[in-house]
Structures are given as C-alpha cells and as structure tokens.
Amino acid sequence: MAVEKRVTEFLRGRVGNLGISSIVLVVLEKIMDNDFICPCQPGYNEWICACYAAGPSIFSFVFTLFFVDPKPDDKVMKGKSTCDRFLYSALVAFIWLFLFFVDGGYVSCACSRWGGEYTETGALKWCKPTGNETSVFESQEKTERCITISQFAGFGIVLVISIILGISLCCKSRCEDGVQQNGEPQEQNRDVPLSYRNNDGRA
C-alpha cells in the first residue's frame, strides 16, 4: 500500500506541471516538424537527426532541473528531495524523446542512406532517390519501415521509463520504511529504563 500511495502522490502532484510541459513540447515539436528538411545526404542525415533528438531533450532537462522555481504556494516542487526533482526533469526530457520517435520522420531521415530530393508523397515526407522506379519503390518501403520501427521505439521508451520510475519509487519507499522500523526499537529501548527507574523511585 505504501508503494501505491507514493506513486499516486508523485503523479498527482506533478500532473499539472507535466501537462503544461507536455503541451509546450508538443507545440515545439510541431513547429520543428513543419520546418524540418532532411538534407538527403548520407552523413548529414544522421547528424541532423541526432541534433533534433539530443538538443531539446538536454535543454528541457537542464532547464527544468535548475531554472524552474516553484511558486510560493506550489507544494509540488517545494520541499522535495533532489531525487524527486531529478525524476521530474527526466520525465520531461523523455517526453520529448517520445515525441521525437513517435513522429518517425526524423529517424527515417537518418536511415536514408541514399542521395535524393526531400519530397512529400501524400502524408509521407521522405528522400526520394533519383533513379528508376524499382529503386524508388524500394527506398520508399525502407522509409516506411524505418518510420514504423521509430514509432515502436517511442512506445518502448514510455514502457522502460514507467518501469524505472516504478522501481525507483518502490526502492525509495522500502528504504524509508526500513529506516522507520529501525528507529522504533531504539526509542522503545530508551523509554523502558526510564519508566523502570521512575517506578522504583530511584530517578
């Protein structure tokens, strides 16, 4: 019961802040996605993909960890331990990684190991190679396959982070329960001799 209570308290206290952070990141991802243009050149594709993944993620983590000050009446971040603040900042950073991988367009750009022109075919944005129809069809299939793998990776990140968060909260709860249990016998041992002496009238 202590673990479930701690998880509920952690999520309930941060759902408002996480909601605001998620909305900001979703808007940012949409803006960056509209302006994103894949170079369609092997080597540059991987670098631009890494920058889009690591840049906003690291910035959101550092900004949340060091520069997000709680309001005077905010009980979420005020008085909390550094571990809780770190977990909250990590959640914000992984929200961006989730949006990054679920989009699929960035990873498909990195997987494009051929030269071509960045075009839009229906809802698909990809590097269309210059060649015969067979190479174009094969490249389009590879792009769609990379998008699917990227989306699976995004949902995998959510699963892994949920497991890590649950384990960390469980371990923290057990450690605190162990400290409390170890402290109770010491207090009882101190009280017994005092009460015994008071009853004998020797104190």
Q: Which two tokens stand for residue 77?
A: 């971040």
Q: How confident is the model at residue 18 (pLDDT cuts 50, 70, 90)?
A: low
pLDDT value at residue 67: 73
The residue type of 91 is L
What sign for the dihedral angle of Cα 34, 39, 40, 42? negative
Task: Compute the mean pLDDT over every residue in the chain, rounded to the nearest whole number.
Answer: 76
Angle at 128 between CA 123 and CA 132, to 5 degrees: 125
pLDDT at 181 over 80: no
Contact 154, 102 (CB under 8 A): yes
The larger pLDDT score, comparing residue 94 to residue 5, is at 94
- Which region among 25-29, 51-55, 168-172 has the lowest average model confidence (pLDDT)? 168-172
For residues 97 and 99, what is the distance between their CA atoms, to the nearest angstrom? 5
Cβ neighbours, 10 Å, residue 47 = 12
Task: Give me the DSSP letters along 88-128.
Answer: HHHHHHHHHHHHHHHH-HHHHHHT--S--EEEEETTEEEEE
3-state secondary structure of 1: coil
Locate the domains of the chain by residue range.
Answer: 7-71+81-164
| pTM attached to this predicted model | 0.70
Angle at 90 between CA 85 and CA 95, to 5 degrees: 130
- Which region among 17-26, 96-105, 159-168, 173-182 has the lowest average model confidence (pLDDT)? 173-182
- Which region among 49-63, 70-84, 104-118 has the lowest average model confidence (pLDDT)? 70-84
Contact 126, 112 (CB under 8 A): yes
Contact 41, 115 (CB under 8 A): yes
pLDDT value at residue 150: 95
pLDDT value at residue 145: 94
